[in-house]
């Protein structure tokens, strides 16, 4: 498993604007925000891509999404709406190979994804 910039953020070796943390999940603001709210939810356990998550770690995927939804509720934009995205591999637009969920909010998202 290669060490990524997100592993360095988990270990506090480089700074990030962390907005949530628990035993399994870390969330911080994206350095290149695509929306007024753009937060990345990552598992502390390293998976390069969504393809690398096995059945045993299915609950961790649930935790990532639930952490994003809880953040949206806490911040008061859950009812207005938001988008969660996972990019997988080059064709999916992934650039950092540590699994992450993008949470985007604060503007109207286009109905078409691409
Ligand atoms: P993806 O393209 O799905 O792999 O998204 C990677 C995101 O990570 C991209 O939106 C920019 C963000 N990012 C890259 N490097 C850093 C960093 O050092 N700090 C923070 N906060 N975000 C980063």
- Catalytic site residue 100? yes
Q: Is the whole-model pTM more than 0.85?
A: yes
Ligand 1 site-directed mutation target among 32, 51, 88, 98, most atoms within 8 Å of CB: 32
Q: With the CA atoms of 11, 63, 97 and 50 taken in that order, what torsion angle do they form, in degrees rounded to the nearest 10?
A: 160
Q: Give the β-pairing of 37-43 and 83-85.
A: unpaired
Q: How far is the CA of 4 from the centre of ligand 1 (A)?
A: 10
pLDDT at 113: 86
Residues facing 20 on adjacent strands: 27
Does domain 5-105 fall into CATH 3.30.428.10?
A: yes
| Residue 57 to residue 3: CA distance in whole angstroms | 20
Per-residue model confidence as pLDDT tens for the chain (114 residues): 579 999 999 999 999 999 999 999 999 999 999 999 999 999 999 999 999 999 999 999 999 999 999 999 999 999 999 999 999 999 999 999 999 999 999 999 999 988
Q: How is the chain split into domains, by residue range?
A: 5-105
pLDDT at 114: 81
Angle subtended at Cα 51 by Cα 35 and Cα 73, rounded to the nearest 5 degrees? 35
pLDDT at 1: 55
4 lines ligand 1 (CB under 6 A): no
């Amino acid at each position: 498993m290669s060490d990524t910039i997100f592993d360095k953020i988990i270990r506090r070796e480089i700074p990030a604007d962390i907005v949530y943390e628990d035993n399994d999940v870390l969330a911080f603001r994206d350095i290149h925000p695509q929306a007024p709210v753009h937060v990345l939810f990552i598992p502390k356990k390293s998976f390069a891509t969504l393809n690398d998550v096995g059945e045993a770690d299915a609950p961790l995927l649930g935790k990532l999404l639930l952490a994003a939804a809880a953040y949206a509720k806490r911040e008061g934009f859950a009812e207005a709406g938001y988008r969660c995205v996972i990019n997988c591999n080059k064709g999916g637009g992934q650039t950092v190979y540590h699994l992450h969920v993008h949470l985007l909010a604060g503007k109207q998202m286009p109905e078409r994804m691409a």
